[in-house]
Amino acid sequence: MRSSLRLGRIFGIPISVHLTFLLFIVFLGMVYAFHGGPKAALAGVSFILALFVSVTIHELGHSLVARRFGVKVNGIILLPIGGVSQMDDMPEQPGREFLIAVAGPATSVVLGLVLGIASLLLYGPAATFKTTVTAGLFLPNLARVNLLLAIFNLLPGFPMDGGRIFRAALAHAMPFDRATAIAASVGRVFAIGLGMVGLFFNIWLTFIAVFIYFGASSEANRVKIKTTLHDVPVSRVMAATFQTLSPDDRVSLAVEHAYHGFQEDFPVVADDKVVGVLMKPDILAALHEHGTGALVSRVMRTEFTTVTADQTLEQVYAAIQTCGCTSLPVLDSGRIVGLVTLEALGRYLVYAGAGSGANRT
């Protein structure tokens, strides 16, 4: 994500902060300064930074448990409404998803209790239980905020932990995609309710509700795509008739092929082996920089991903997302036998999705 700033690594996990989080800190700093002057602003901002550390620890709770289950953790990103652990693929075993989801709030509760006990020992019960967040002592406030963080994350909607915990609980009794659909619907209904309550009481709640509403939709979509593509072999949608280029061809030939057919990505083949790929953006860049006469070998990508016909469309989808490409050559014992495109995946999703709708009614 380019809209975020990398801070460093903890336990080998990259930590970054989303720019909106920085804006949030500036905004709160200004609010504090407006109400209490520079001293209050300093206290306020240092409190927010402590909160930021708390959120990081919460996310580390998720990430470390996930890593124990062999899930690759790509990083932790901090947003104004909380953190997100970016993981490769969450396990679809409900028990594991449950533990990973619970780990965050559990970490926050432990941290809140430890800070609370420290505050009791240092300041006594009167100061510790004073119920203001914007004024009062640093330590008891931080303890309270960590407990609030746990409660907030337990709200029952994606992408909050509560949504995942809810889905994991449902998934014990039904298939994963059905559990996701139900958890997403409940999350949406909850978000609409929270959004309306927010309009009357606190606009931040409405902001969070919008986040939960769209989070529900995107998680439901993600799982629907995964489930639809799960067991389908590449051979089902690959194009077996397609144009290839030779490294000695000119880019103008790719343009001609594009004019006369539907193909805009081309495998480059020499001696029966794929030696490169030339995709639409490469063709456009080559035309812009060198004109139509450029040699294919000069402008093709030499690092590319391939698949075999018996791999699944789910794997193709994941590969396409990581390589940032729009098609993959399909190989059989090293020789190219087909081409699978993002467009073909999209078509499959549309037709298969329409079909599954008919089955349900």
Residues forming the active site: 59
C-alpha distances out from residue 205 to 114, 246, 347, Å: 28, 58, 38
Q: Which is nearer to Zn ion, 167 or 257 (CB)?
A: 167
Tell me the closest approach of the beta carbon of residue 158 to Zn ion, in angstroms: 12
C-alpha distances out from residue 330 to 167, 253, 324, 344, Å: 36, 22, 17, 13
Site string for Zn ion, 100-119 (x = CB under 5 A): ----x---------------
Tell me the closest approach of the beta carbon of residue 135 to Zn ion, in angstroms: 28
Specify the amino acid at residue 66.
Answer: A
Q: Which is nearer to Zn ion, 161 or 265 (CB)?
A: 161
Tell me the closest approach of the beta carbon of residue 58 to Zn ion, in angstroms: 6
The owner of tokens 């996930």 is 66
With binding defined as CB under 5 A, does residue 161 bind Zn ion?
yes
CA angle 274, 341, 343 (to 5 degrees): 160
Q: Which is nearer to Zn ion, 152 or 214 (CB)?
A: 152
With binding defined as CB under 5 A, does residue 206 bind Zn ion?
no
Tell me the closest approach of the beta carbon of residue 86 to Zn ion, in angstroms: 13
Q: Which is nearer to Zn ion, 104 or 195 (CB)?
A: 104
Q: Which is nearer to Zn ion, 81 or 286 (CB)?
A: 81
Member of 54, 107, 119, 153 binding Zn ion (CB under 5 A): 153
Count of other CB atoms within 10 angstroms of residue 216: 26
Q: Which stretch binds Zn ion (CB under 5 A): 87-95, 151-159, 217-225, 243-251?
A: 151-159
Sheet of strand 4-10: strand arrangement: 4-10, 13-18, 73-79, 82-87
Q: Which stretch binds Zn ion (CB under 5 A): 96-104, 226-234, 262-270, 289-297?
A: 96-104
* Contact positions with Zn ion (CB under 5 A) in 49-88: none
With binding defined as CB under 5 A, does residue 187 bind Zn ion?
no
* Contact positions with Zn ion (CB under 5 A) in 167-186: none
Q: Indicate the residue whose CB is closest to Zn ion.
A: 104
Where helices occur in the chain by DSSP H, the ranges are 19-68, 94-123, 125-128, 138-153, 161-171, 176-201, 203-229, 251-260, 280-290, 296-299, 313-323, 342-360
| Number of amino acids touching Zn ion (CB under 5 A) | 3
239 backbone dihedrals φ, ψ, rounded to 5°:
-85, 125
Count of other CB atoms within 10 angstroms of residue 70: 9
The owner of tokens 């902001």 is 207
Tell me the closest approach of the beta carbon of residue 151 to Zn ion, in angstroms: 12
Q: Which stretch binds Zn ion (CB under 5 A): 87-95, 148-156, 275-283, 293-301?
A: 148-156
Tell me the closest approach of the beta carbon of residue 61 to Zn ion, in angstroms: 7
Tell me the closest approach of the beta carbon of residue 153 to Zn ion, in angstroms: 4
Q: Which is nearer to Zn ion, 94 or 104 (CB)?
A: 104
* Contact positions with Zn ion (CB under 5 A) in 228-257: none
Taking the chain, what is the end-to-end CA distance rounded to the nearest angstrom?
A: 41
Q: Which is nearer to Zn ion, 194 or 245 (CB)?
A: 194
Beta-bridged to residue 268, according to DSSP, are: 245, 276
The owner of tokens 């812009």 is 288
How do strand 307-308 and strand 273-278 relate by DSSP bridges?
A: unpaired
Beta-bridged to residue 4, according to DSSP, are: 18
Using the Cα atoms of residue 168, residue 188, residue 2 and residue 59 in order, give the sign of their dihedral.
negative
Residues that bind Zn ion (CB under 5 A): 104, 153, 161
